[in-house]
Every structure is written in structure tokens, then in C-alpha cells.
Chains A and B, each alone.
Chain A
Amino acid sequence: MLGNRWPIILPISYHLIVAIFIFQSALSYWYTISVFNKKKFVSLPTAGHKPVPRATFIVSAYLPNEIPVVEATLLNLLRNVIRPANGIEVILAYNTPSLVPIELKLRELAYQYPELILANAYGSRSKSENLNYAIDLASGKMICLMDTDHLVSPDCLPLAWRWLDEGYDVCQGLCKIRNTDASAVAGLVGVEFEVMYGVNHPSRSILFDTSLFGGSNGFWKADVIKKVRFDKDMLTEDIDSTLRGILAGYRFVHDREIVSTELSPTTVGSLWFQRKRWSQGWFQCSVKYQWATWQTKYLNLAQKFLWTTLLMWRVVYDVVSSLLFPVLLAFWWRAGKVLLPIDAYIIFALVFTLFSGPFQTFVAFKNASRPRVPVWDYFSYGFFVWAYTLFKTFVHLVAIRDEFAGERSWVVSKRSDR
């Protein structure tokens, strides 16, 4: 294949690592194609056809950092969301090291809007603690979790309820970035979110009938979230609660018609810290729950396969794929020059892998709901996705290292209103 001048270990390692790239790309193609399966919502016989119940929106905020955006988010909920017959309540669960002027403004808002409940989670030092505090206050039968920067569509409640009425326990909506023009990083993340929420999540939900709660724009049955709650020791409390929910037999679904827009990090630094926290959190969950997902009776074989690709496989892929570089270096060192050892298999892998990103980007563009990210951003993303993937793989490796080193700092993102 590559000639017989190499020690046998080199071509074997090389081809095995490339096989991992092929498998990962094959998954990507599968999910991308599957999104064209337009699973229109048709009520199953199990649907109770009950009216939309009283709903609680919980907005979790760390006030000093999120002051610019919190008022807009609250007003969007209070003014625009279509109410069910029994009304809504909006609980702002926040913590702040000291009284800030916005608190006085929020009290005026609460006087103007009786549906707004200000819940200072005194003593809380984390989003999880804020959420748990608010969950105990909630009176709604459906609880909707929103981050401080999320502007959700007015029709979210009936759209989410039709899934919960049918027998699902949690419905995750689609999250879009609305500040894609703020910087090149925000534009990149905008397209990435279209791929993630517009292609990957819905196709997995369609193919495997399982999904996850992504941290915001998630709609829970109240009795379910009051049992599952959130763990303050986990960096990605959303994935952790998803897995505990799944292992308790609760069902998750993704609905891309429930749209909420949010703000992206605008600098490489802030993106780095956000993605490192996500990666470290996912790694924590992989270590904690992979075995349990294989054992549970609540997942079928296909669902176990999916969760394996999301948990253990993700870690294996990150670690093993990065070994490509030392293997190439070994070839160069052996040959005494820089070269790309290729054969038909490697050429196929190169084309297959490199094309998966642009293909997925194109499908995300075709599938995107309005407002769409500018076309130029899709072109840029499709062209540079291979580099962005390398960046994210590096972030994952650093996150794994940090987790082993016991470094779990949570750098709170500074929010601006654009």
C-alpha cells in the first residue's frame, strides 16, 4: 500500500487513525442526510390533547455580567409570549455579590408585570443552584429554562406542549445566534449553531428518538424537572441532567420549530473558555455515565449506540485523531523529508473527510430557518471548517487535561447586548 520501507507499526497506526476519521465523517453524512426526513408533527394516539397548561419561564442570571441583556429577555417573555389559559410566570433566578442598580429597576418591572417573580438565590454561586432555587418556586406544569440572553419565539409554549402532551418529558428547541455581525468569531459560531441545532440535533432526534437538553430553550414537565434537578458540581449541568433524566426513563425530543436566539462569544478568548467548559463538562459526563447508558433498560440498542458516539467515542476520537500528527512526523523522520504518505485508501479518506464539513454546511444553509446567517458566513465556515475542527479538538484535549488536573474554573462570559 504505502510501500514496504516503513516499520509495520507506522502504516498500521496511520490507517487505523484514518479509519477513525472515516467513521466520524460517515456519521456526519448520515445525520446530514437524515435531516431531510421532514418529520411533521402528527399527534400519536398517546396524545392527551390537553390544553397548554400554566407555564413557568425560569431565566437564570449572574447579574453583574448579564445586566445588558437581562431586561430585554424578560420583556420579550412578558410582552410577546402567547399565554395559555392559566397564564405564565417568569422567574428571574439570580445571584449577585452586592445590590446593583438593576435590582431596583427590576423591582419596578415586577410591580408593572405581576407575572415577574424576582428570586434572589442568596448564597448561590452557580447556575445550577439558581435553577434549583427557582424550580422550587415554580407553579407551572411546564417549566421552560432560558438563559439570560435568549429571545424565544412567541409560539413556543403550544409547540413544546404538543410533545409533552404526547408522552415526551423534555422538548429542546432550536437555538440561533443573533449577533453574527458582531465579529468573525460570532459569524463562525452562527453557522456552527445552524449545523448543530439545525442538522445534528434534529436528525438524531428523528433517527434515534432521543435528544438532549442543551441548557436553554428547553421545556420540561414540571414534575420531571423537580425530580431531576441540577448538579452544581458538573460543568455542563444541562448534559448531566439530560443523562440522569434518560437513565430515569424520561424521554427527550428536539423540535427545530421552537426558535430562540442568543448571543455568541465575540472573541477567540471568550470562545476558548466557553468551549473548554463544554468539553470538560462533556468529558465529566462521559466518565460518569457511559457505563450506565450501556446498562440501562430505558435505551434501545440504537440509542445506546448514539449515546456512545456522544460520550466515549467523542473522547476516543479526540485523543486518537490527534495522534495523526505524531504519526506523520514519524513518517517524515523516517523518510528524512516532509511527505504525505498516500495510497488509494488515504486519498479516499482525505476526500471523504474534507468534504463532510462543507456538505454539512450546505445542508445547514438549505435547512436554516429565518433569520438566516449571511451567505458569506456559510462559505467561510465551509472553507475553514477543517481548521475550526482542529481548534476544537485541541480545546477538547486541553479540557481533558484540565479535568485530570482537577481544574474546574467557570469563567463567566461577559454579555453585551450585541
Chain B
Amino acid sequence: MELNLVLERLRQLKAADLNALAIYSDLQTQVEDKEILVLLSRLVKDEARHLAMEKEIFSLLRHGAKV
């Protein structure tokens, strides 16, 4: 797969993950049920982890990793 295409797809996903993180974080302030809050908290952490991993992939690609 071409490097540019990989980068473009990653940028699309980064925006989607940022959006998901924002929505889950907002929902945490609006929901009161404890079980749902626990799940939302895990989702927030998941999204944050996605973003961190995407950032790591970007860094590897910039430093010359082949696709």
C-alpha cells in the first residue's frame, strides 16, 4: 500500500477517534447510571489509546518505516 494512502487513512481515523473521544467524554457528564459510567470511562480510555497508537504510527512512518 502506498505510504500517502496509509497516512491519509490514518488522518481520517484520527479525526473520527477525536470525535468519538469528545462524544464519550461529554456523555460521561450527562449519564448517571453507574454501570454505564464505568463502560463510558473504558470507552474514553480506549479512544485515548487509539489516538496514542495512531500518533506512534505517524511517528514511525515519518522516521522511514516501510508500509
A→B interface (CB under 8 Å): 87, 89, 91, 110, 114-120, 122-123, 137, 139
Contact = CB atoms under 8 A, between A and B. Distances in A.
A80 to B, nearest CB: 18
Given A122-B22, A122-B26, A123-B26, A91 B5 contact: no
B11 interface: yes
Interface residues of B, number: 14
A369 to B, nearest CB: 33
B22 A119 contact: no
Contacts of A87: 4, 8
Nearest to B7: A139
B3 to A, nearest CB: 11
Interface string B16-58: 1011001100100000000000000000000000000000000
Contact of A115 (B8, B18, B22, B23): B8
B15 A122 contact: no
A129 to B, nearest CB: 12
A118 B15 CA distance: 7
Contacts of A123: 22, 26
A122 B23 CA distance: 7
Nearest to B22: A122
A122 B8 CA distance: 22
B15 A117 contact: yes
Contact of A114 (B5, B16, B23): B5
A93 to B, nearest CB: 9
Max chain B C-beta neighbours (<10 A), residue from A89, A114, A117, A123: A114
A118 B8 contact: no
In the A-B complex, the 7 residue pairs with the smallest Cβ-Cβ separation, listed nearest first, are A114-B8, A122-B22, A120-B19, A119-B15, A117-B15, A117-B12, A114-B9
Contacts of B15: 91, 117-119, 137
A119 B18 CA distance: 8
B22 A116 contact: no
Given A119-B19, A122-B26, 13 more contacts: A87-B4, A110-B12, A114-B5, A114-B9, A116-B12, A118-B16, A118-B19, A119-B18, A122-B19, A137-B14, A137-B15, A137-B18, A139-B11
Nearest to A107: B16
B29 to A, nearest CB: 11
Interface of B: 4-5, 8-9, 11-12, 14-16, 18-19, 22-23, 26
Contacts of A120: 19, 22
A64 B14 CA distance: 24
A123 B16 CA distance: 15
Contacts of B14: 137
Given A119-B19, A122-B19, A114 B26 contact: no
A118 B12 contact: yes
A267 B12 CA distance: 38
Nearest to A120: B19
A91 B11 CA distance: 10
Nearest to A88: B8
A119 B23 CA distance: 12
Contacts of B12: 110, 114, 116-118
A74 to B, nearest CB: 13
B62 to A, nearest CB: 11
B46 to A, nearest CB: 17
22 contacts: A87-B4, A87-B8, A89-B11, A91-B15, A114-B5, A115-B8, A116-B12, A117-B11, A117-B12, A118-B12, A118-B16, A118-B19, A119-B15, A119-B19, A120-B22, A122-B19, A122-B26, A123-B22, A137-B11, A137-B15, A137-B18, A139-B11
B1 to A, nearest CB: 11
B8 A89 contact: yes
A289 to B, nearest CB: 33
A258 to B, nearest CB: 25
A327 B6 CA distance: 70
A116 B18 CA distance: 15
A230 to B, nearest CB: 19
A187 to B, nearest CB: 39
A130 B12 CA distance: 17
Nearest to A139: B11
A54 B28 CA distance: 38
A137 B8 CA distance: 12
A116 B53 CA distance: 21
